[in-house]
Each structure stands twice: as structure tokens, then as C-alpha cells.
Structure 1
Amino acid sequence: MEPRPAATVVVARDGASGLEVLLLQRTHTAVFMPGVFVFPGGAVDDADQDTGRWAGSVPNDDAEASRMLGVARGGLAYLIAAVRECFEEAGVLLADHRDGVAVGGDNTLDLVVLREQVCNGELELAELCQAHGLRLHTDQMGYLAHWVTPPGPPRRYDTRFFVAEAPPAQDAAHDGSETIDHVWINPAEALRLNRGGQFPLGSPTIRTLRTLAEFRNVGEALAHGRQGPARAPTAPVSADGRDGRRLIHPGEPAYAEIAKLHREGVSAPAYELIPGVVTRLSPRIRRVVAPNPGVMTGPGTNTYIVGTADACAVIDPGPDIEAHVGEIEAAAGTIGWILTTHTHRDHSPASRALRARTGARVLGMPAPHHGGQDTGYHPDYVPTHGERLSIDPETTLRVIHTPGHASNHLCFLLEEENVLFSGDHVMQGSTVVINPPDGDMGAYLQSLEALCHEDLAFIAPGHGFLMGDPHRVIDRIVSHRLAREAKVAQCLQRLGGADERTLVGCVYDDVPETMHGVAGRSLLAHLIKLQDEGAATQRGGVWYPGG
């Protein structure tokens, strides 16, 4: 499915708490992002793209707008769509009369009636502007971000985010159909409420709010927006594999890794992960994939070799498969440390054989006393959160304790390159299973939030390719988890009380039934988190809403 062009606008004002932004809550029955608070926005319509209809109603031209967005043409249509959607969804018309008087300031227009006519199709916004001599604020808006919905959701959008100052004499109002509530809120407060599960947000909104939280007032936000966002490369890149050379496009799992390697002079990186093949990801990082593919492990567990041939560390030696251990030893050189992110059986068992063959010290946290753990794992050294490990004079790994998927889970940050070795805390291509009692959903979300404060360039996951734009990846995970948690709460309210088997069918109705057993473990983690927060309770094997 090709994403549809769309535009979103952050309407901002200066309030008692500093910068405030307008957010609308989508209806709980919406196909796309139900129940979530969003900025006004929607798809670019054909009428938005017909520049002839807007003659005299927009002060800038398409060439100027397209330069701001970094596109060859069609930039003005995004700005027009943002203004139109803001009027339709929020009742705020970002426009002036041609004499410079702000719309709403002279009370000559009944915006409530005009909005209804535009929404009902009785009147087009271009006609409204021509009839009343209005000029849209398309030249006063800043450009914040560019988001493309990843594959999977029922609808996909290629969305440009803008920022505009709220007209002082107009009042916002949700439309009562597509949106059911609205609020003016400080960005930092919205993020705080979201972290507490009280204010559902999508990942693009979270990332935009994080950006806006840095500004004290509208002027600073607009100044930032007029500089435009940093633009990531979007051109396809070539790669090799067993089916020959082909182009890899943005959004495909291998894209970020292949684009990185192209920039570093590798002419044709691989678009597939093949066990036993050593892949050099940077001068300090090599990867060997273990031969243990599966539903939960993807192509196999990634073992990373970090450092040089003279001194290196191995991260996650993987399962105890003799051939894999031999491949690690042959590729690594002198191994000083064997690091484990956690003690699930696809990550740590080979540490014993590798230690016996190399004499390297094993570093990690002991295995918890719960099922599915590598009970034979005994580290030589247990690190502390924040500790720095000097692998060689130019290679430093910082230890970050990230409980959630497992209570003893660690991530390792290569400080010289800002690459996070995430183990199973962040995975590519699948949702991390949170399996109580050792898995803890509340701790997982807190650990993800902590990573948002790190300076990250790439994530090197335990399964899959290098992942670019790490903070966006993390935001998507958090928003997905909180959206699922909101669905748990909705199912509890609708059913009044249900056992876990019934709840799985309700909460995970978008997941194949063959995966409901695994999904049930994460469901339980959500229920326990809600119970800890007083939003759910269990009696006699049945879960109920409230404390």
C-alpha cells in the first residue's frame, strides 16, 4: 500500500504554563489511531493541489513551499491541506483578511456556520477565501517533521508536520464526529501524562511534543520550524543477496543499515542475514548471526564483536552451537570480554564454551529464578548501571540496565559511535514479549523512556538489521504499547469482567490466533501494570476494571 500524502499542523499559543499546543482526541471507533490525541490534520485532497483555485488566497507560491519541504513540486498543497484540516477538525481558520485584520478579530464571519458548510461539502475553503477576501497563513507556518506510516496499519500516510500560531480571537472546538475532545496543553505535561498511561499519543505526536518541549514560547517554536527539519536520505540503495542485486527502499528492514554502509564506501552490502557470515558494520563492529532462526528469533540471534583484532568484546554469544562458537572465535581475534544482554537461552549459553576456548571474562547479570532462563550462566563480573568498560583505548561500552523484557536485561552503548546494542529490549520486525513474573511492563516502558535521553545514532538489535532513527523507533514502541494497554482497559470496561483467554481474543483481535498464546503473556503484563496503578483487579481468575 502506497502512503497517501497528508499534512498536520501544530496550533500553538503562549499560555500561563508557557508554550501550549492544541490536541484533538480521535473517536474510539476510528480505523486509524482510535482514541489517540493528535494534532489537526488529514490527507491532501485534489482541491488542495489545484493551485489555480487558490490564486490570491495564498501569499506564497508552490516553488517556495516546495523548497521548504525539500520536494520538487507540490509543497503548497501540503500547507493548504494543513490549514483546511485545521478548520474542519478544530474550527480554527489560519487566515487574515486582505487588509491584514485577523479572521475572528472583527466578528464579521460566522466561523461556526462556515465550518459546517465546508465540512458538509456545501462550500469549499477556496470558495470561502475568494468570497470573503481571505489569505491563508501558509507563509507564516514552520515545517517541523516528515513522517511516513510504516507498513502494517490499515491506512498509511506520508505526512508533513507544520507549526502555526493560534489566532488570538478564535476558539477551538472538536467536531464531535471524527474527534470527541480537545485540549490546550503544555508539551511536557502531555508527555508526562502519556508516560502515566492517562493520555494516549501516537509516536509521531510523541516525537513532535519532545521537540516542542524544548521551546519556551511560540516564537521559538516558529523560528525552529522556519529552519526546517533535518532530512534523512530517502533514495533507494542497492544491495546483494542470494537472489542477486536489487534496490532496497526506505521502510524495508535492511534500509538503514545498507544506507549507512553505502555512505561508508561499501558498494553492495547484503539485504539478508545469513548465519555464519561476518558483516563489518563499522571499523569497530562486526556481526555474526547464529544458526537458530525461528518465530521468536527471526533470522537468528545476532552476536556482535566490538573492538579490534587486538582487543575486543563479544556481545551475546548466542546459543551453544559449536559451529557458531568457532565462527565467533575465528572472526574476533583477541577476546577480552564476553558480554550478555540477558540470560534467555538464545543469547547467553555459548558464553561457557567461548570462555573455555579463549579465557575471556564473562560479564552480565545472574539468571533470575524463573522459567526460560539459562540456569547454567554464571558471570565472572556483574556490572553496575552506568559503568564504562574500556575495551581498547578507542572503544568504550557503557552499561545501561533496562529491565522489562527480563529483569536482568542490559543494553550496551558504544560511546564512540552512539550505537546501542539492545539485545531483546528493542527488536526489529516483531513486538518484544513481556512474560511475567520476570517480565514487567511498567519497568519496560520506563526503560524505554530512559533511552530517549541518550544520544543514539543506531540501534544494533539482538535480532535483525541495524535500525536508524532510534528515538523514532523507541517512540513507536511506546505508543504501540500504550495503545494496546488502552485496548485492554476498553475491553475490560466493555466486558465488565473476563478471564485472560477471553481478553486475549478481544485485545488481540488483530493478531492471528496462532500467536494468542504468546500474546497472552504480554496481556498479563499489561493487566498487572493496570492492577498496580489501580485500574484493574483480579478475583477468582477473572479480571475487572478499576481497583
Structure 2
Amino acid sequence: MGAGVTEPGTIDKTAIRDAATVIVLRNRSHEPSVLMGQRGANAAFMPNKFVFPGGAVDPEDSQVPFADPLSPICVSRLADGAPGDRATALAAAAIRELWEETGQILGRPGTWDAPPENWRDFAAHGHLPSAAPLQFVFRAITPPGRPRRFDARFFLLDADDLASDPDDFSAASDELAHLQWIALDKVRSFDLPFITEVVLAEVAARAADPRPPASIPFFRNNDEESLFLRLYGQPLPD
């Protein structure tokens, strides 16, 4: 999907990179809130904005063992318009970025044989990642002309499925500041990226409904056009 040609060992900053974002929803049936943090003023992508935890997929994410896999409907919809082997890496990236940026663990107790380097801190806490609670709810490609471009998949997660204390951010990196739970009815008073506002509207509309959505909104932006599509996935076997 990337654009341009780069020298070996370098990263093409104009390429579209696969990415995963996690929307952790707390108290979804009454006074729901979401976990967000603020990007730094010097960040190349969305400086100063309040965002959900998330980031680009690393090559090692495809090698991660799961305690519980993604649901079949998530796998099917993630493969709609994308390579079918991408689902595992996207789910792993979502869990890893959640851990790195907030210190929150989505997993079950378990041991690793040889965790990849970027998963060693997670593994040291005695958990294997669990993808089953993740619900694929949105996809968006960053428009052309931005300093970074991502094909981002947004996953919804109920805070009750976390294996860690949802108020303990002591293990978080310093990538996001002011980590906090923000009430859905107050979140628009924060400085948000446009796409985050769109995703939040989708989440707020169905916060009390734990079932997977009927389809997945997809903002596809490329050099020729911008389209709003719906992802339904492939029919599931009986």
C-alpha cells in the first residue's frame, strides 16, 4: 500500500502503514467514559491532540501467540479489502500499543517461550495477549498530504475485560500525557482530531449495545478520491 521508493533500511514516511487503535469503554451502561491521553507538542503526527492509545503495526506483531483469538466476525471484516493474514498482527498491535501507552493489560495469565523484543515487557507481567474481547468498529486511512499516513483499524474494548487496574497508569510510557477516563458526554470539550470525533459519535450511538455492529464504517482516502464505505466481511460458516 505504500507510496514511493526508499533506500534499504529506511522508512518511507509518506507510505500508508497499517495501524491499530483501541477505544476502551468503561461503565458502558451508565455514564460511559473512554480512556484517552494527549500527544506531545513536538509529535510529528497530531501534536497536542487527545487521542486513543494506538500506533503502527510492527513486523513482530504477526508472531505473537494469543491466549484467545479474535472472533470470527472480526477476522472476516478485517479481511474485507485487506490481506487476510493481517488480522492477527492488527489485534496484536492494538494490545501492544494499549500496554505501551497506558500500562493496561488485555490478556490472560500465561508464559511465553521466546517473546519478540517489543513484547518482552508485556510478557514479563505473566500474561499472554487475549484478542477475543476486541471488537472491530471503524477503519480510516489518513488523507494525502499529512506527515504520516496510516490505515487505522479501531477496536472497541470493554474496560471490564482488562486484566489490570483501569486506574493504574504507572507502567505507561511517556508517549501520551494526561491519561484519563473522559465521560462521553464531555469528551468534545477536549482538543480532538477530526477522525476521533467521528469515531466517538459511532461509539456513543451504540455504547450500551455490546453486540458487533451490523457493518463497519470505512473512510478510504487516496490520491484520487475520498469514499465512505461499509465493511460487511465474508459470510461466516454455519
When normalised by structure 2's length, the TM-score is: 0.74
* Residue 45 to residue 181, structure 1, CA distance change in 2 (3 Å): same
Whether 2:10 is the aligned partner of 1:7: answer no
Determine the structure 2 residue equivalent to 1:125: 119
Q: Which has the higher strand share?
A: 2
Determine the structure 2 residue equivalent to 1:223: 211
Determine the structure 2 residue equivalent to 1:34: 47
Give the aligned residue type for 1:89. Answer: E
SS in 2 for 1:223: coil
SS in 1 for 2:185: helix
Q: After TM superposition, give the deviation of residue 183 of structure 1 in Å.
A: 1.9
Whether 2:178 is the aligned partner of 1:181: answer yes
| Deviation sequence 1:446-500 (CA, Å, 0-9, x none) | xxxxxxxxxxxxxxxxxxxxxx549xxxxxxxxxxxxxxxxxxxxxxxxxxxxxx
| Equivalent-residue separation in structure 1 for 2:185 and 2:163 (angstroms) | 22
State which of 187, 190, 194 in structure 2 corresponds to 1:190: 187
| Equivalent-residue separation in structure 2 for 1:215 and 1:61 (angstroms) | 21
SS in 2 for 1:79: helix
* Residue 210 to residue 187, structure 1, CA distance change in 2 (3 Å): same
State which of 140, 144, 150 in structure 2 corresponds to 1:151: 144
Whether 2:204 is the aligned partner of 1:251: answer no
In the alignment, is the contact (CA less than 8 A) between 1:18 and 1:216 conserved in 2?
Answer: no
Between Structure 1 and Structure 2, whose CA radius of gyration is higher?
A: 1
SS in 2 for 1:10: strand
Q: Moved runs in structure 1, 4+ residues, more than 4 A?
A: 61-65
Give the aligned residue type for 1:252. Answer: D
SS in 1 for 2:36: strand
* Residue 64 to residue 202, structure 1, CA distance change in 2 (3 Å): same
Determine the structure 2 residue equivalent to 1:351: none
In the alignment, is the contact (CA less than 8 A) between 1:143 and 1:228 conserved in 2?
Answer: no
Determine the structure 1 residue equivalent to 2:200: 209
Pairs aligned (count): 205
* 1:241-390 map, 5 Å: 251-253=222-224, 255=225
Q: Which has the higher helix share?
A: 1
Q: After TM superposition, give the deviation of residue 90 of structure 1 in Å.
A: 0.5
Give the aligned residue type for 2:51. Answer: V
Q: After TM superposition, give the deviation of residue 36 of structure 1 in Å.
A: 0.3
* Residue 14 to residue 64, structure 1, CA distance change in 2 (3 Å): closer
Q: After TM superposition, give the deviation of residue 223 of structure 1 in Å.
A: 1.6
In the alignment, is the contact (CA less than 8 A) between 1:143 and 1:163 conserved in 2?
Answer: yes
Gaps of 5+ in 2: 1-13, 230-238
SS in 1 for 2:202: helix
Whether 2:102 is the aligned partner of 1:90: answer yes
* Residue 137 to residue 68, structure 1, CA distance change in 2 (3 Å): farther
| Equivalent-residue separation in structure 2 for 1:183 and 1:128 (angstroms) | 21
| Equivalent-residue separation in structure 2 for 1:16 and 1:231 (angstroms) | 26
Structure with the larger RCO, 1 or 2 (CA within 8 Å, 6+ apart): 2
Determine the structure 1 residue equivalent to 2:68: 59
Sequence identity percentage: 27
| Equivalent-residue separation in structure 2 for 1:131 and 1:163 (angstroms) | 23
SS in 2 for 1:146: strand
SS in 1 for 2:68: coil
In the alignment, is the contact (CA less than 8 A) between 1:31 and 1:154 conserved in 2?
Answer: yes
Q: After TM superposition, give the deviation of residue 61 of structure 1 in Å.
A: 6.8
What is the CA RMSD across the aligned residues, in angstroms?
3.1
Determine the structure 1 residue equivalent to 2:158: 165
SS in 2 for 1:143: strand
SS in 2 for 1:160: strand
* Residue 76 to residue 126, structure 1, CA distance change in 2 (3 Å): farther
* Residue 138 to residue 163, structure 1, CA distance change in 2 (3 Å): same
Give the aligned residue type for 2:45. Answer: F
